[in-house]
Amino acid sequence: MKKTLNGSFLTTITQNMTRNRSVFGALLCVESGDKSISWLGAAGELNKDDRFYIASVTKLCITTLILMLRNEGRLKLDDKIVSYFPEKHLDGLHVSKGVDYTDQITITHLLSNTSGIPDYFSHKQPNGKTAADDLFGGKDEPWPLERTLKHVKEMSPKFRPGQKGKARYSDTNFQLLGRIIETITGKGLADVFKERIFDALELENTYAYKDTNDDSAAQMYYKNKKLHLPNYIASVTAEGGLVSTASELMVFLKAFFNGQFFPKEDLEDLKKWNLIWFPGQFYFGIGLEKLWTPRFISPFKPIREIIGCWGQSGAFAFHHPGSDLYFTGTVNQLSGFGHSAAFKAMIKVIKKTR
């Protein structure tokens, strides 16, 4: 029989998230599928209704739009991506051992991080540095798709598109998907997000960050340093440029998994997992992540699938089908050191209900 959760337990769990020395504030929203559990708490510097940068959790919204357009007959997942760009625009994007494989890359390759296209964010540039190095060092500058393509064309991919057993996390993939969505709809991605997702769900505090003077989102940290990157965030809408709250992100997460935007059966098509070793350790399917949960965490009652998405900012949005629990929130820490606090919180809540 499923055990119940109480507010005192969840309050303690949320407070414990800030015991990690890299976490200055935490937000945790927990809901069950039938809403018999619906709880929102905050600790440290954050408050329950705070807006925050959801970073790569944005990718779930991209997946949503791609599936919607697929179901409307406006694209196919096996479409070659070159067909959505001006002729020769992508030439030289994926050159391996002297062979340009760019015209073999499909939408599925982008969604599943199996394109082999280097990640402009974490892949070393010819000068030995990464874009992440500069950004985390406080150098706030835009990274629009055109700049990304220029830099990526100077980098070497690690594998051929769709090479069996190969996957590498790449924000470049999702920048390309964002442009494909714009090409198909004839609208800016921020407007497409708003019209098709945010307005449909009546979300009032979820939006694509575009006004660089907007400081309404919670202060982010990189290790112990406050970091403000308005120019960067405003330029990367497709890969991680959305702002939301824990409660509104919960509304989206439940809609994603419960058939509001596309048939629930489509979810099974996304579960073609490849293990990703960086950043962190997790599985990536087709536009969807699965947490790596070793058996020793719960040896007698395996946790099994926890699926959704992490954000570099420490944001998270996950569903555990086994307990029918949903989790959203943030630890607001860009370094990656705070993600373990959120992971441990979700695991403790799941185990408490079993």
Q: Around Cβ 294, how many Cβ atoms within 10 Å? A: 10
Which of 155, 185, 215 corresponds to the end of one domain?
185
Residues 338, 274, single domain; the answer is yes
Distance CA 64, CA 225 (A): 34
Residues 158, 75, single domain; the answer is yes
Residue 111 lies in a domain: yes
Residues 118, 141, single domain; the answer is yes
pLDDT for position 298? 85
Residue 1 pLDDT grade (very low, low, confident, very high; cuts 50, 70, 90): very low
Output phi, psi for 46, to 5 deg.
-95, 150
Q: Tell me if 334 sits within 8 A of 222, measured CB to CB.
A: yes
Whether the predicted pLDDT of 2 surpasses 60: no
Distance CA 171, CA 113 (A): 9
Residues 22, 102, single domain; the answer is no
Residue 11 lies in a domain: yes
Specify the range with the lowest mean pLDDT, choosing from 192-196, 300-304, 320-324. 300-304
Residue 200 lies in a domain: no
Residues 98, 80, single domain; the answer is yes
Distance CA 155, CA 151 (A): 7
Residues 6+ apart with CB under 8 A from 19: 341
Residues 6+ apart with CB under 8 A from 66: 75, 77, 107, 111, 177, 181, 287
Whether the predicted pLDDT of 27 surpasses 60: yes
pLDDT for position 294? 85
The CATH number covering residue 73 comes to 3.40.710.10
Residue 297 pLDDT grade (very low, low, confident, very high; cuts 50, 70, 90): confident
Residue 82 lies in a domain: yes
Residues 25, 86, single domain; the answer is no
Residues 265, 241, single domain; the answer is yes
User: Of 308, 331, 303, 144, nearest to 233 (Cα)?
Assistant: 144
Residue 171 lies in a domain: yes
Whether the predicted pLDDT of 303 surpasses 50: yes
Q: Give per-residue pLDDT as tens, 240-287.
A: 999 999 999 999 999 999 999 999 999 999 999 999 987 888 999 999
Residues 149, 101, single domain; the answer is yes
Residues 288, 338, single domain; the answer is yes
Residue 214 lies in a domain: no
Residues 72, 148, single domain; the answer is yes
Residue 226 lies in a domain: no
Residues 32, 80, single domain; the answer is no
Residue 83 lies in a domain: yes
Average pLDDT value for the chain: 95
Q: Give per-residue pLDDT as tens, 72-104.
A: 999 999 999 999 999 999 999 999 999 999 999
Structural domain harbouring 158:
61-185
Domain count, the chain: 2
Which of 185, 200, 224 corresponds to the end of one domain?
185
- Higher-confidence residue: 304 or 307? 307
Residues 45, 161, single domain; the answer is no
Average pLDDT (65-76) is 98
